[in-house]
Amino acid sequence: MSGRIPRHRTTIPFLGTRDGLRIRKLALTSLVIVAIALAVTAVRDAPAAPITPPDQSALNARTLVSNVCSECHGATGVSICPLFPNLAGQLPVYIETELKLFRQHGRSDPGARTFMWGIARGLTDEQIKRVARQFSSQPPVRGTVSSNPALADQGKSLYENGAKERDVLACIVCHGHDGEGVNTNPRIAGQYRYYLVTAMLQFRSRMRENKLMQHVTQKLSDDEIAALVEYISTK
């Protein structure tokens, strides 16, 4: 599928009267446009979906991935659409942490409430650990060549240096030189542009919990987010 975003600004509902992110620069596909429209209109109190397999505790990790996780994230951790993050090559500790947060309702963004609360509620610690290991052992997705090198260069500078005058920490500190992730901070290389845009907008609007990311994204302009996403997507 192909097609560029019309050359006009988009108003994003949960950002109030601010101009929406100039994602036309990202050359996203029509599928991503539809996904963005769905995500930004989701409400905070979206009910947790009843996507829980029967007797979940009896399923081993391979069966869970094959029968449940693969429906959104793919059997090898390469997700079926930009609405869901790629998990292939993700740090196992990050996957474990997020699954436990979903299980205890520690994440309340629309995607968490709608999909992951129901899925994670029956998982044991051992299942979570094994699922995380299975996805992390898969070959990670590689980035793509930017169609807007100038924008990617702007993102590279911000990613590597931050903006000290505005107390914006460099992304490289937590996510690594190539977006590979550091300690418990996630791998962001190889993610869909749409997913990265949505995550940062949700952090900025406080729809998704993470104090550091909320602090950083609230100091970023729409154009800076666009530039960061364009650069990260090349990794």
State the alpha helices, DSSP H only, in 5-121: 30-40, 61-64, 70-73, 92-103, 110-111, 117-120
The domains found in the chain, sorted by start residue, are 56-136 (1.10.760.10), 149-232 (1.10.760.10)
Q: Which range, of 24-38, 49-63, 148-162, averages the lowest pLDDT? A: 24-38
Is 60 exceeded by the pLDDT of residue 7? no
69-106 confidence digits (pLDDT tens): 999 999 999 999 999 999 999 999 999 999 999 999 99
pLDDT given for residue 176 in this prediction: 98
Task: Tell me which residue of 90, 56, 52, 57 sits closest to 73, measured CA to CA.
Answer: 90
DSSP string covering 203-228, please?
HHTTSS--HHHHHHHTT--HHHHHHH
Place of tokens 């997507």: 233
Top pLDDT among 70 and 44 is at 70
Distance (Å) of CA 202 to CA 16, 106, 110, 198: 13, 15, 9, 6
Residue 55 banded pLDDT, cuts 50, 70, 90: low
